[in-house]
Amino acid sequence: MSNKHVPLKARKVSFAWEDTPLHWVPGDPFTTHTINVLHLLLPAGERWFVHVYEQVLPYIRDERLREDVIGFIGQEAMHSQAHDEVLPHLRDQGLDPTPYTAQVDWLFEKLLGDRTLPPGRPRRWWLMERVALIAAIEHYTAFLGDWVLNAEALDRRGADPTMLDLLRWHGAEEVEHRSVAFDLFVHVDGDYARRVRTWATAFAALVFLWQRGTRFFMANDPTLVDGRATFRDFHRRGRQGLLPSTGAITRSIPGYLSRAYHPSKECSTEQAVAYLATSPAAVAASAAEKSQEGAA
């Protein structure tokens, strides 16, 4: 656990996917595809975070928080791009994600988009509602980031190192910036009823989209005949440490709804920063940045 303030910066990572197999958790399409749902949701989802936060910047009256939000925007834009770049690789392997991503794009761009609201209170209400939704979602991105940094069962199963690095680089930055969305929500609004309401929406939407995405991948995986996904599959992988356990997910709920909640009380900044210091993608990004600075 740590509360230390770390200035946020985007690491300009890139990944080469040629050698990553379709089932990058060997012999386990269910775990592979459950985690692959991230590549379906995050490109549009994190672009939407950026879009909303750019609108909220004028409401911030604290210089450090403004810097954090700008750093957060840079990191999320990079996350969105990195997950988006996995999609052509899936398509090359016979798994076209477009039917699903088209729906996710509609959800974030239209349903959760700006709407034509009159200026003043209605517009502000909708902005605050979305800021609160992002805080609730970020509770789960930090939860998942912390989980994947500690998911040694994936290493033991021989999971693809490039995919693990993508997940852990992203997970580490989620842990690193885990307080920003909540601090921003508290700064501009912080209403407890809104926190509870938007948590319920975010949680229900995440469960719905995730099980649907997993079933989509299992049904369309060209190597599987009659590929299915059940809750029992999920529960079993959780017990094996290959996915977050249902118990841990359940326990995370009262945490967010507690009036004493603050993200800094969960996860470890030290662990995140230590991973980023050794992540092959993050190390390569920082070397490229240094050589560019040297050339300038």
229: left (phi over 0), alpha (psi -120 to 50) or beta: beta
Per-position x/- string for 173-202, each x denoting binding to Fe ion as judged by CB under 5 A, each - no binding = -x----------------------------
Per-position x/- string for 139-178, each x denoting binding to Fe ion as judged by CB under 5 A, each - no binding = --x--------------------------------x----
Q: Please, which residue, 77 or 224, has the CB nearer to Fe ion?
A: 77
Q: Please, which residue, 29 or 263, has the CB nearer to Fe ion?
A: 263
Of residues 75-134, which lie at the interface with Fe ion (CB under 5 A)? 76, 79
- Report which residue type is found at 202: A
Instruction: Give the residue among 242, 84, 94, 245 at the shortest CA–CA distance from 166.
Output: 84
Q: What is the dihedral of CA 214, 110, 177, 255, to 10 degrees?
A: -70
Q: Please, which residue, 144 or 229, has the CB nearer to Fe ion?
A: 144
Q: Please, which residue, 22 or 255, has the CB nearer to Fe ion?
A: 255
- Report which residue type is found at 291: S
Cα 105 off chain centre by: 16
Distance (Å, rounded) from C-alpha 219 to C-alpha 164?
24
CB of 32 to Fe ion, least distance (A): 20
**Residue nearest to Fe ion as judged by C-beta position:** 79
C-beta of residue 73 within 8 angstroms of C-beta of residue 53: yes
C-beta of residue 7 within 8 angstroms of C-beta of residue 71: yes
Q: Please, which residue, 76 or 160, has the CB nearer to Fe ion?
A: 76
Of residues 257-296, which lie at the interface with Fe ion (CB under 5 A)? none
* Residues found near Fe ion in the complex (CB under 5 A): 76, 79, 141, 174
